[in-house]
Amino acid sequence: MEPTPFSVLLTRIQAADGESTLDVPEDWLQGRTLFGGLQAVVGLAAMRTVAPAAPLRSLQVTFLAPVPGGPVQARARVLRSGKNTTHVEARVVDGDNTLCLMVGVFGVARASAVALRPQQPSFTPAKTFELPWVPGVTPNFTQHFKARWIVGAPPYTGNTSPESVIELGMRDDGPTTESHVVAMADFIPPIALSYLKTPVPAASLTWMLELLPEDFGSLALDGWRIDAQMTAAHSGYINQSLILWGPAGVPVALGRQTMVVFG
């Protein structure tokens, strides 16, 4: 079966009146569950039917249970809408069961005298690692991305650096949307897996994403970079943070995740 490009998936999402549905093909799975970034995109589609046409400022996600491929449904409702910001809840559901819970904050721009943007640091890699897609070994969804580690290394290489810097792109046609940004921001695996030499199960528990620009349409889908750091690892729980940079070093998103590694 031919893989389904991300932009084609977006055209297949049916969304109206606080609900969204998408029939997800197997090439977007991550083991036995749907790629977490795509879970968030389906929820975001439901949110956008009830949220104002304001930029997404923050997205908080809790992954509760595996989301299988096939038909995926999300429901959204407004929690509170004020003068400048609107909080919207979305749930990926299987009947009455919630599989993924998220809260998005949409906010209009405000006048402010304070302005600060992160500056992208430069790296001179001593060695780089391309991530190949190996059917049955590498998670299915990774075939839609181009990834090259310039600091750290892919999972199961025995590399004990707590930092990863990954040059990233999507195998898709533009324009870049907020959904593309959400998907790219969730590409990175737990850095702890790089410490290991044999595969073990791993999963995300929570994910927080903060978006910085208000429009992404001018950004190409190549030339992105993720700078990530594992800040703590204990009792099988992993804490890591990231900055997602767009082409030419444009700061696009800040993220933080809590993960579990079974090994």
Phi (first) and psi of residue 45, to 5 degrees: -60, -40
Domain boundary among 82, 108, 134: 108
Measured torsion, CA atoms of residues 138, 251, 204, 175, in degrees rounded to the nearest 10: -60
Supply 225's token pair: 């970079």
Radius of gyration (C-alpha) of the chain in whole angstroms? 18
Query: Domain of 40?
Result: 1-108
Is 118 within a domain? no
- Do 253 and 211 share a structural domain? yes
Is 68 within a domain? yes
- Do 253 and 134 share a structural domain? yes
- Do 135 and 63 share a structural domain? no
Is 98 within a domain? yes
- Do 136 and 99 share a structural domain? no
- Do 134 and 25 share a structural domain? no
Give residue 256's Cα distance to chain centre. Answer: 11
Mean pLDDT of the chain: 94
CB 263 within 8 A of CB 200: yes
Domain boundary among 78, 108, 138: 108
- Do 246 and 194 share a structural domain? yes
Number of domains, the chain: 2
**What's the rounded Cα separation, in Å, for the pair 68 and 173?**
26
Q: What is the pTM of this model?
A: 0.95
- Which residues pair with residue 12 across a beta bridge? none
What digits encode the pLDDT tens for the residues 178-236? Answer: 999 999 999 999 999 999 999 898 999 999 999 999 999 999 999 999 999 999 999 99
Q: What is the pLDDT of residue 158?
A: 95
Helix (H) or strand (E) holding 7: helix 6-12
Is 206 within a domain? yes
Of residues 263 and 73, more confidence is placed in 73
- Do 177 and 73 share a structural domain? no
Distance set, CA 38 to CA 6, 173, 231, 234, 241 (Å): 9, 17, 25, 28, 19
- Do 149 and 29 share a structural domain? no
What digits encode the pLDDT tens for the residues 94-126? Answer: 999 999 999 999 999 988 999 999 999 998 877
CB 190 within 8 A of CB 152: no
190 upstream amide cis, omega within 30 of 0? no
Under the banding of pLDDT at 50, 70 and 90, the label for residue 133 is: confident
- Do 149 and 233 share a structural domain? yes
Supply 64's token pair: 């509760």
Burial class (CB in 10 A: 0-12, 13-18, 19+), 259: buried
Is 114 within a domain? no
Is 117 within a domain? no
Is 87 within a domain? yes
Is 214 within a domain? yes
- Do 85 and 146 share a structural domain? no
CATH number for the domain harbouring residue 173: 3.10.129.10
Residue 249 has pLDDT above 80, yes or no: yes
- Do 90 and 213 share a structural domain? no
